[in-house]
Amino acid sequence: MLNERTADTAVISWPEEPATVPAASALRQLADFLERFPGIPQLYVTLSGTRRASVQLSTHTAEPRERCLAVARIAEAMGTDTHLELLGSGQSFETDVTVGNIEVLVYAPITDLVRDNVAGEA
């Protein structure tokens, strides 16, 4: 049950500034970064706090080759390496970059490539 003392504590615990201010700044930094790469396939952005983010190139709008080339293009521009990461149902072609103070994982799932190759062998 909410008593007067609990209610006072709950009201005091709300921050003066909304928590979205740092997140909005991080999203602006990511947007500015991504604008440097016109023509990359549709993507999904996940922001974890204000220091980490992931950018997934969509499997629904681009073929595996196009997605992997986009990751490679970003890696080359940022001076980083690419690598394959094994997943439970396939692989992911990835690069890790830093945008401002945000660590960003840019990746292209290629599970559909693995699935198509397995189906072709059957």
The alpha helices in 1-122, defined as continuous H runs, are 4-13, 20-34, 64-78, 111-121
Residue 94 lies in a domain: yes
Is 69 domain-assigned?
yes
Instruction: Note down the domain range covering 58.
Output: 22-121
CB 71 within 8 A of CB 108: yes
Whether residue 67 lies inside any domain: the answer is yes
CATH number at residue 33: 3.30.460
pLDDT digits (tens, 9 = 90+) for 64-83: 999 999 999 999 999 999 99
- At 118 the pLDDT is 41
* pLDDT computed for residue 72 by the predictor: 97
Q: pTM value?
A: 0.73
Q: What is the pLDDT of residues 25-55, one digit of tens each?
A: 899 999 999 999 999 999 999 998 878 999 9
Could you tell me which residue, 108 or 114, shows the higher pLDDT? 108
